[in-house]
Amino acid sequence: MRGQDPSRGLIRDSGGRLFALVGLVFVATAAGGQMLQQEVPQLEGPTPSMAVIGAAPLPRWVVDDQRRMRAYPDQPPIIPHSIEGYELSVNANRCLSCHKREFTQDSGAPMISVTHYMTRDGQMLADVSPRRYFCTACHVPQADTRNLVVNKFKDMSELGIKPAGSE
């Protein structure tokens, strides 16, 4: 008889037990997670109020056109002039109108490094490499602000170390 097959009843019964076991594990995990969440301190601090407060004034940019000493080897030079209103997009790059190799003689601006004309593999290109096209990804204007962290860096020459071959 169809209704009296003992193996079919076992399958139905074990399916129900499995469902109950999965439900129990889910509820226990959720409860444990809530208990752990209460014990772990918040890293964010209190939620700030939504009151409107005044913003600090924007810092003045250093625009004296004086080239600055670099702070570390291979540091990209800072931009010593205003770039406000410069278009820097896929279609236009105003920086290149003065700093590109063929325009530096007339503009008096320093030429961009020859590395800007290379691919990642070191192959020379006739024009600026697309990966070096967006100047402000590396070069930034300098703001007239105080340092956020005290800088204790000393150059090798300040430490009394002489260049190789100078003895």
Find, among 106, 89, 88, 90, the residue nearest to 98 by Cα.
106
Radius of gyration of the chain measured on its C-alpha atoms: 33
Domain tally, the chain:
2
Which of the four pLDDT bands, split at 50, 70 and 90, describes residue 56? confident
Q: What's the confidence (pLDDT) of residue 70?
A: 82
Rounded Cα gap, residues 29 and 101, in angstroms: 65
94: pLDDT strictly greater than 90:
yes
Percent of the chain with pLDDT over 70: 80
**What is the C-alpha to C-alpha distance for residues 64 and 142, in angstroms, rounded to an integer?**
10
Q: Is 121 inside any structural domain? A: yes
Residue 115 lies in a domain: yes
Is 109 a domain residue?
yes
Among 117, 76, 83, residue whose Cα is nearest residue 98: 83
10 pLDDT band (50/70/90 cuts)?
very low
Q: pTM of the full predicted structure?
A: 0.55
Cα–Cα distance for residue pair 47/144, rounded to 1 Å? 32
Instruction: Specify if 16 maps to a domain.
Output: yes
What residues does 79 pair with on adjacent strands? 141
Domain assignment present for residue 166? The answer is: no
- Asked, for residue 34, whether it belongs to a domain, the answer is yes
CATH of the domain at 112: 1.10.1130.10
Contact 142, 78 (CB under 8 A): yes
Query: Under DSSP, is residue 166 helix (H, G, I), strand (E, B) or coil?
Result: coil
Q: Is residue 88 part of a domain?
A: no
Domain annotation covers residue 147:
no
For the stretch 109-167, pLDDT in tens is 999 999 999 999 999 999 999 899 999 999 988 888 888 888 887 777 777 777 777 66
Domain residue limits at 15: 10-39
Q: Is the pLDDT of residue 53 over 50?
A: yes
Distance CA 71, CA 109 (A): 21
